[in-house]
Amino acid sequence: MAENFGLKIGLEGEKEFKSALAEINNSFKVLGSEMKLVEVVITSTGGDVFKNGQGSTTLSAIVYQAGVEVDSNGTGTYTWTKYNKDGAIDTSWGTTGHKTGKTLSVSNTDVATKATFMVKVII
């Protein structure tokens, strides 16, 4: 009759290692859930349509985390990108296709037929 013998090897510090790993995993879960609560809202003082080539507006990026504004003084980095009517970055705008700041002034000279403005925020 065959007998099964098992061997279990334990490593010194294994318990502490597993505990630290579990703590890291929990930290990532918390960070992931907090990141899901971040929202950037773009407001406009002049609406979103210019008629007959006339109009101007100021766009403002407002960053919320869990419903609370987190950068009201604008210390973060706000990078605006303009896309033309074909969806391509307008590289002639702002010398590189980008402008910076929490707010962005847009005039009728910035919009030829159609333009889309997007903002990337780093806080």
> Region 43-70: what's the mean pLDDT?
90
How many distinct structural domains can be found in the chain?
A: 1
Q: The whole model's pTM is what?
A: 0.69
- Asked if residue 101 belongs to a domain, the reply is yes
CA distances to 17, 23, 42, 107 from 28, in Å: 17, 9, 29, 43
pLDDT at 3 over 80: no
CATH number at residue 117: 2.60.40
Q: Per the domain annotation, does 2 fall within a domain?
A: no
More confident residue, 38 or 81: 81
Domain membership of residue 78 (yes or no) is: yes
Position 57 pLDDT exceeds 60 = yes
Using one digit for the tens of pLDDT, what is the confidence trace for 80-113? 999 989 999 999 888 788 999 999 999 988 888 8
Q: Which residue range(s) make up the domain with 97?
A: 40-122
Asked if residue 77 is part of any domain, the answer here is: yes
Mean pLDDT of the chain: 85
